[in-house]
Each structure stands twice: as C-alpha cells, then as structure tokens.
Amino acid sequence: MNNSKFLDRTTPPHIVTLVVISGLSALNMNLFLPSLPGIATHYHADYALVQLAVSGYLGFTAILQLLIGPLSDRYGRRPVMLVSLVIFLVATALIPLAPTVESFLVIRMLQASVVSGLVLSRAIIRDVVDTDQAASMIGYVTMGMTIAPMIGPALGGVLDELFGWQSTFVVLFLVGLAVLALAAADLGETNQHRSKSMLRQFGAYPELARSRRFWGYTLTATFASGAFFSFLGGGPFVATEILGMTPSELGFYLVFVAIGYMVGNFISGRYASRIGINRMMISGGLIATAGMAISLLMFLAGLWHPISFFGPILLIGLGNGVTLPSANAGIVSVRPQLAGSASGMGGAMIIGGGAAMASLVGAILSVETGPYPLILAMLASSILGVLAALYVLKVERSIAATAHAIEPTA
C-alpha cells in the first residue's frame, strides 16, 4: 500500500498485515467445520443445533458489523481492531472448556468479534485508494486470505482425528495471539476524518439505504456469498451423512472451494481496474451459476460421488473470487466518506443473508432428500447474484444518461 512501512504504526498497514488479519476471520469460520458432527456427538446434541455454530455465528457477525463500521468511523480503525482481537482471544480460550452445547454456542458467538478483520480491512483500503484500485487491492487481500480456508479444513480434520475437536480452538488461540501482536506493531491509523459522534454515523444508514447502487452492490455480494454460506451450512452434512466421508476426507475436499476462490481473487486483482467492477461481478456470477448447474446434472445422471459435489464447488469459489472484491469495492465507494459504515451495513446484510441461507439449508437437508436441497439453493442464489449485478449496470447507465441529458449544450 502506498506510503506503508512494515511494522511502523505511524503509516498505513502493510498489505500482508491486512491479509493476515482477514485470514484469521476466515480461519475461525472453517477450521472446525470437519468437527461439527463430532461436536454434536460430544454434547449428545442434534446436528441442527450444533450447526448454529455456523448459521448463528453468521447472524451474530451481521449484528456486530452494524456496530464495528460506525465505531471505526468515530474512533478510528486501529483501536476498534485491537479491542475486537482481544475479545476474540478471550472467547477462543474459553470455548474448549464449555460444559454444555448451549455454553459452547454462546462463547462461539463472542468469537464473532474477529469479523472486524474483514470489515475494517475493506474500510482501510478505501481510506487510501480509489474505487477501481480498491477492487484490485481487495482482490489481492482476499487472494492471500484464502490460504486460511485452503489449509484450515484439512488441518482441522487432521487435528480432530488426532487430538479431538478442542485442539482446533487451541490452534486458533495461538494464531490469534500472533495476529494481535502483528496488528499492534503495524496497524497505523488510516481514518483521518473521524466523525464527531456515533449518532451521526448511525444517521448515515438511511442515506446509504436510499442509494440504489448501494443496494445493487450489496445484493450482488449477498447472493454470491449466500451460495457459499449455504455450502458451509449443509456441505458437512452432505459429505458425512450422504456421501459417507470422514472428517479428514471432508477437509481435503473443502480445499476445492478455496482454490477456486484464490484463483478468482487473483483474476480480480489483475483485471478489476482494467475491466471495471460491474463486468467483473456479472462474469463471476455466471461462473458460479454454471458450477451448480453442472453439479445438479451430475447427480441427476446418477454420479453420486464426492467429486460430483466438490468438483463444481471449485467454480462457486472461482465465481465468488471474481465477484466479491468488486461488489465490496462498490459498497464502500458509494459514499466514500462513510466507508466504515457502508462496509458494516453492507457486511451485515451479506452475512445476515448468508446466515439465513445456512439455517434454511440445515433445516431442510436430510438423508432422504439427498444433496438436492443444497444444490438447488446454491444454484438459485447464484442466479439472483447475476440479476443483482445486472441491476447495478442498469442503474449506472440510467444515472449516466440523466447526467448527459442535463449537460449544457455547447
């Protein structure tokens, strides 16, 4: 990033620091996914209840993002990030000790404070670069961040089989401690125009809500992410209960979506500033839609194999990697002076929609239904993402046409 010096808290953070901070949030989401069936067995609880560790967690992060954005606009990105990481560490230290499934889920919700890494990295980038550069830089940050979901599930599956599910949270605590030290040393403040009051920042939400472009970008990201969050909510069940896979096998196959996401983010980083964010969003949505259509056709043809599910999931990752950096750049650029609030509000809608999708899929999936409810939900969400991106394009053309019509004639 321009003018940044590594391990110098008087300058903007190095891009590596943003990658690591964002990566911790991703790792917290997926490291323990292969352990979900084992956690249900440990607490003698239904899978649907334990699955709240995914869908309920997503819902709680949605609420937190509504607070994190305005807090960072008012008090600065650095203090909000550091406090959030401390809360995350306390919760992570406590969660292996939870005596009941209810206490496990409550502490899991406190871990959601780590979402500040995702919210504030986007706001920090928008603080220092323009819209198209922001899309490229967000693409590179999320490309680096996907190292976490690439290794997380596989590592989590191995840890679960060797040491039990609690070991995944021990590893999370140690990684979190290192991330806190890095953030304290390198995360310089980038918000040079802090708001005068929290009320003023919350007052920005109606202004954002009146923007058709904000809604278009947010819905594009929501539906693109909805396909992925549906996968998080139902994928482990399909893998273990329908396809008969072990936790370590599931961890291996989960790498497919991460590889696709990393490649998609590389494409975003390379081409978003040249192609433009709207065309990137449409292209990504079409790729994801094709992936789930292929999976549906493979199962209908009788090919009930892990590759029929996880192979096309690579295209969901690829499509999201192309779509989301541009959609997120659009969200924080509609009103640049409200980047933190926009990131928080947009993120809340995205994660809230994802939580709803994950809960729905978790509720309707069963051994009797097979994988079809999950595949159809992911396909529908991907199609809606394309339609939302087309809506943004229509709005921008309408705004451009109006501006041209009112220009004074020579």
Question: Is residue 136 within a helix (H) or strand (E), and if so which, with residue range?
Answer: helix 131-145
Architecture of domain 15-189+198-397: Up-down Bundle (1.20)
Please report the pLDDT score of residue 204 as a whole number.
Answer: 65
Quick one: DSSP state of residue 13? Answer: P
Banded pLDDT at 15 (limits 50, 70, 90): confident
Distance of CA 370 to the CA centre of its chain: 27
> What is the pLDDT confidence band of residue 199, given thresholds at 50, 70 and 90?
low
At 303, give phi and psi (nearest 5°): -90, 75
Q: What confidence score (pLDDT) does residue 390 get?
A: 94
Quick check: 408 pLDDT over 60?
A: no
Kindly state the average pLDDT of the residues 372-385. Answer: 93
Region 348-361: mean pLDDT is 79
Q: Which two tokens stand for residue 212?
A: 């058709």
Comparison of pLDDT for 381 and 126, the residue scoring more: 381
Q: Which two tokens stand for residue 410?
A: 């020579």
CA separation for the pair 298, 177 (Å, rounded):
44
Residue 370: phi, psi to the nearest 5? 70, -160
**pLDDT of amino acid 410:** 35
Lowest mean pLDDT among 109-113, 161-165, 200-204: 200-204
* % of the chain at pLDDT higher than 90: 27
Q: How far apart are CA 63 and CA 52, in angstroms?
A: 15
Is the pLDDT at 385 greater than 70? The verdict is yes
For residue range 138-185, what is the model confidence (pLDDT) as tens digits? 777 776 666 776 677 778 888 888 888 899 999 999 999 999 999 999
Contact partners, residue 203, CB within 8 Å, separation at least 6: none
Angstrom distance (rounded) from CA 62 to CA 353: 9
- At 91 the pLDDT is 95
Determine the Cα–Cα distance for residues 123 and 133; give it in Å rounded to an integer.
13
Which residues, in sequence order, are CB contacts of 192 under 8 Å at separation 6+?
127
DSSP string for 246-265: -HHHHHHHTHHHHHHHHHHH
Q: Which sequence spans correspond to the domains of the chain?
A: 15-189+198-397
Query: What pLDDT, on the 0 to 100 scale, is given for residue 196?
Result: 67
> Best-predicted range by mean pLDDT among 227-241, 286-300, 367-381?
286-300
Q: What pLDDT, on a 0 to 100 scale, did the predictor assign at position 203?
A: 66
Write out pLDDT tens, residues 311-333: 898 999 899 989 988 898 888 77
Q: Rounded to an integer, what distance in angstroms lies between the CA atom of residue 326 and that of residue 343?
A: 13
Residue 179, both tokens: 């991330």
Give the per-residue pLDDT at 170. Answer: 94
Query: What interhelical angle do 339-364 and 52-75 show, nearest 10?
Result: 170
Contact 63, 151 (CB under 8 A): no
pLDDT digits (tens, 9 = 90+) for 219-260: 999 999 888 888 877 888 888 888 888 877 877 787 788 788
Distance CA 345, CA 205 (A): 7
pLDDT classification of 265: cutoffs 50, 70, 90: confident
Average pLDDT over the chain, rounded to an integer? 83
**Contact predicate 158/251, CB 8 Å:** yes
What confidence category does residue 124 fall into, taking pLDDT thresholds of 50, 70 and 90?
A: confident
Q: What is this structure's pTM?
A: 0.71
Pull the structure tokens for residue 371: 């994988």
